[in-house]
Amino acid sequence: MPALFPEIDIAAAEARLRGVVRETPLAPFPSGDARIELRLKLECLQEVNAFKARGAWNQVAQLTPVQKADGVVCSSSGNHGQALAWAAKRAGIHAVIVMPANAYPNKIEACRAHGAEVVLVPTRADCDEEVARHVAAGRTLVHPYDAARTIEGAGTTGLELARQWPEVEVVLVPVGGGGLVSGIALAFARVHGYRTKVIGVEPAGAPTLSLGMKAGTPVTPKIDTQVQGLCPPASGQWNIDVARACVDSVMLLDDTAIFAAQAQLVNDGGWTVEPAGAAAAAAVFSGRFALESAKLLASRTASNPLRVAAVVSGGNPDPAQLAAVRARP
């Protein structure tokens, strides 16, 4: 049988990333349900505090000498931009990061701190037009999710998790554009042959991947969420195609559940987590996962729990928002 998506070589990406990115911990955490054994894949402790470092370096490491000389560009609300700025600095190349003006100020400054040129535009919708201008001038686009090499890098999170916990039965993954969930799902399909279920968790106000999976093509719904980092205008075609083949389902959560999970991870776990990074854990804490997974949990008990991993994808919250979370009783 031919390999599924042969253009995406996650094992090669893992070799490329070795010694550059960190192997992040898989930490036990109370699930609030005796039938669920929960462990958190802490990508909030990754380089630049986000899984995005994986895809950014995998892209930059494969640039040709001419591409390196001409520099790179991307659009980002924060973490991918910071990751590309970090990767470009490490490689000694120039990066332009196009960001919406309402991006978290700390993320804008983090991009600049790594030496990138930051271009602010009024809205997320304006980003693509500005990026296209830089691409026309010769820069290489490093897409935050809709690219085989970005998916390869993100997928190394899945290979790592599969080694850390071979018995894992369900993996919950935050969904923005879909690069992380598609990469992890493809990685587990190759390692476990679809034995492990991979479920995306997406804001109800930004259902771009779930709608894209139904349509088979990118869909641009009205975005109505405050969870920065999980609200692109549309998911990419690469992400939709891989997700349709490898992702078991996508669960929609409201913002309230996601922000509540962030508070739980920050105050009970002691980790610095942004709202987007808490979305997968929110599916468990809110009870939504148990509700939608009744069949999986039907015969499970405290002595035979369902083994569930949730990816904590990022740890770059707005400082004022984080301070407010920590101040809650």
Report CA-CA distances (Å) from 32 to 264, 265, 307. Answer: 11, 13, 14
pLDDT for the residue 1: 41
**What tens digit of pLDDT does each residue of 36-45 get?**
999 999 999 9
Q: 77 an active-site residue? A: yes
Identity of residue 216: G
CATH no. of 10-50+147-327: 3.40.50.1100
pTM of the model: 0.97
**CA 199 remoteness from chain centre:** 13
What is the C-alpha to C-alpha distance for residues 229 and 116, in angstroms, rounded to an integer?
A: 19
Sign of torsion, CA 189 191 194 197? Answer: negative
Q: Which CATH class is domain 53-141?
A: alpha beta
Report in angstroms the alpha-carbon separations of 85 from 42, 56, 327.
Answer: 21, 9, 32
Among residues 31, 76, 77, 286, the one annotated as catalytic is 77
Report the candidate in 199, 185, 164, 197 with the shortest Cα–Cα distance to residue 22.
164
Domain boundaries, the chain: 10-50+147-327, 53-141
109 pLDDT above the threshold of 80: yes
| pLDDT at position 207 over 90 | yes
The catalytic residue among 41, 52, 107, 197 is 52
Strands (E), the chain: 26-29, 36-42, 72-75, 95-100, 117-121, 140-141, 170-174, 197-203, 249-253, 306-312
Q: What is the dihedral of CA 105, 132, 277, 294, to 10 degrees?
A: 150
Alpha-carbon span 126 to 111, nearest angstrom: 19
The predicted-structure confidence for 164-197, as pLDDT tens digits, reads as follows 999 999 999 999 999 999 999 999 999 999 999 9
pLDDT > 70? residue 281: yes
Whole-angstrom Cα distance, residue 180 to residue 157? 8
* Summary mean pLDDT of the chain: 96
pLDDT given at position 183: 98
Nearest to 243 by CA among 191, 201, 289: 201
| pLDDT at site 295 | 95
In the chain, the percentage of residues whose pLDDT exceeds 70 is 99
137 three-state secondary structure? coil
Q: 10-50+147-327 with 53-141: one CATH topology?
A: yes
Sheet holding 72-75, edge to edge: 117-121, 95-100, 72-75, 140-141
pLDDT of residue 2: 57
